[in-house]
A and B are shown apart, each in its own frame.
Chain A
Amino acid sequence: MADPMPMTDSPITTVAPGWAIAALAMLGVLAVAAAMLDGALAARAGGGASGVTRPFGEAARLMRQRRRTTVEADRLLWRMGGAGLLVVAALMVTVVPLGEWTIFDLDVGVMWFNAMDVMVWALVWLTGWGANSAHSLVGGYRFLAHGLGYELPLMFALVAPAIAAESLNVGKVAAAQDGLWFVVWMPVAFVVYLLGVAAFSVWGPFAPALGADIAGGARAELSGVDRLVFEAGRYALLAAGAAFAVPMFLGGGAGPLLPDWAWVPVKTVALLAVLVWLRRRLPAFRPDKFMEVGWMLLLPAVLLQDLVVAVIAVWRS
């Protein structure tokens, strides 16, 4: 039996598996930073005291909270849905190179990321389903409705950098941006990708699945640690999405003065801050209406972007 996933001849080196703990820690720090920023922005919008500490207070509150139970809940699927978001976010960052190091140098890393973001469909729906509660199930279906609208544009947005780099390996995609970042000549793909990140994090305009109008939607019955893990998972997904954009669109570790490994987190933090900030700047996309926006506007736009990228890639070679 051959070992799976042999090393590819990519410009990056694979580090020992133990470094996965460091990657997880970085993801955790990013998620907490995003929650702190969101707390600060919430406090400013509400005019209250500084909200930077809000996530810590909220975590302490949830950890002491008693777990709510519902009649005939499908506990197994419910817990898997709630806890799965964190796992998926962790699996996403395994293929993101930190400068020249990566944990998992998969030759089809871009597909891997895509497969992980599709997992969120299942997980959010399962969270909505498991509680055996009408509002929470409605929330789960709202997410699927959004998913049908955002997923294909997101997939074709990921195609653009892969075509230009002629590789699905994340390290090679980053290396292919020598001199000119992909964000410069594939802005449509970049914007659609960011929308996709917000969507699979159930964030900002894509939050109606957790809407107050349906009593909290998919997370309506989540309480205590379950809710904490679910919320942490959303922030972690947002952070993982921002981190993945760095090698895909923002030149990877390229940048002046700082070393490669430092530029990746710097760019990630900047992008993450933008995503967190956008939460209060964009209106909610109604799930029933967004479907048509996704298929009639975003999909043709991003396909056109792919065509332009493909023509340029053929012309250059």
Chain B
Amino acid sequence: MISDIAFWGFGLVALLGGAAVFYVNSMARATYALALSFVAVGLQVLFLQQNYVGVVTILMMVMEMAIMAVYMVMFMGMNPALMPMSMVHGNRTAIAVALTTFLGLAAGILMVDWPARLGGPSSDVTMALGESLMGPKMLVMAVISPVMVATIVAGVVLAAHRTRYDRLGDDLKQRPADDPQPGGVGR
């Protein structure tokens, strides 16, 4: 009974936190409203006995929102992120898309012929979830991960305006490197 109430309570917090992201007028509040929403979802996942997934959700999402604060000053010229600002734009299109998506998903939930449960849940549901998600596709996952890392590295290399020739000189022999922000190990 109490756990039912707590589960639905966290669900409500998650929904309201998600809605607050678009309602508030500050980047910081929007960011941490989203964090609150995800923490509530993580706590709900604990009720599904997916303890690892729940705790990792909380960990990753809070960390991600903290990193968002770094992006706020890294990529936004003149730091409008630090001033009050509206969190919505393109209202008409957004409302239309949101309503259509909601109606589509809700219709799907109501119309799908849900299967009846076969057998009981496994004793380690986290392991079962992992196997059903990844099991037969492990090779694909193992191939995709290095490709994704390579894409990230390549993206950063292409985006950086300074190259190794700027750092180390035309013959790559200049030590220490000429960096606008010198690092701590004297490379």
Contact = CB atoms under 8 A, between A and B. Distances in A.
A144 B51 contact: no
Contacts of A4: 3, 46-47, 49, 51
Q: Which secondary structure dominates chain B's binding surface? A: helix
Interface residues of B, number: 33
A289 B47 contact: no
Contact of B63 (A77, A151, A292): A151
A203 interface: no
B184 A144 contact: no
A125 interface: yes
A106 B69 contact: no
A116 B3 CA distance: 22
A227 B66 CA distance: 22
Contacts of A126: 28, 32
B181 interface: yes
A151 B55 CA distance: 17
Contact of B66 (A107, A144, A168, A289): A144
Contact of A286 (B35, B66, B184): B184
Q: Which secondary structure dominates chain A's binding surface? A: helix
Contacts of B32: 77, 122, 126
Contact of A1 (B4, B185, B187): B4
A44 to B, nearest CB: 31
Interface string A69-84: 0000010110000000
Interface string A281-295: 000011011111100
A121 interface: yes
A3 B62 CA distance: 25
A111 interface: yes
Interface in A116-135: 118-119, 121-122, 125-126, 129
B31 to A, nearest CB: 9
Contact of A292 (B49, B55, B82, B187): B187
B175 to A, nearest CB: 15
Nearest to A134: B82
Interface string B35-48: 10000000000111
Q: Which 10 pairs from chain A and chain B are nearest by CB?
A: A289-B184, A292-B183, A121-B66, A115-B59, A292-B184, A293-B184, A111-B55, A4-B47, A4-B46, A118-B63
15 contacts: A5-B46, A5-B49, A106-B51, A111-B59, A115-B56, A118-B59, A121-B63, A148-B67, A288-B182, A290-B184, A291-B184, A293-B184, A296-B183, A296-B184, A296-B187
Interface of B: 3-4, 7, 26, 28-29, 32, 35, 46-49, 51-52, 55-56, 58-59, 62-63, 65-67, 69-70, 73, 82, 181-185, 187
Given A108-B55, A115-B58, A141-B69, 11 more contacts: A4-B49, A5-B51, A76-B29, A77-B28, A106-B51, A108-B52, A115-B56, A115-B62, A119-B62, A289-B182, A293-B184
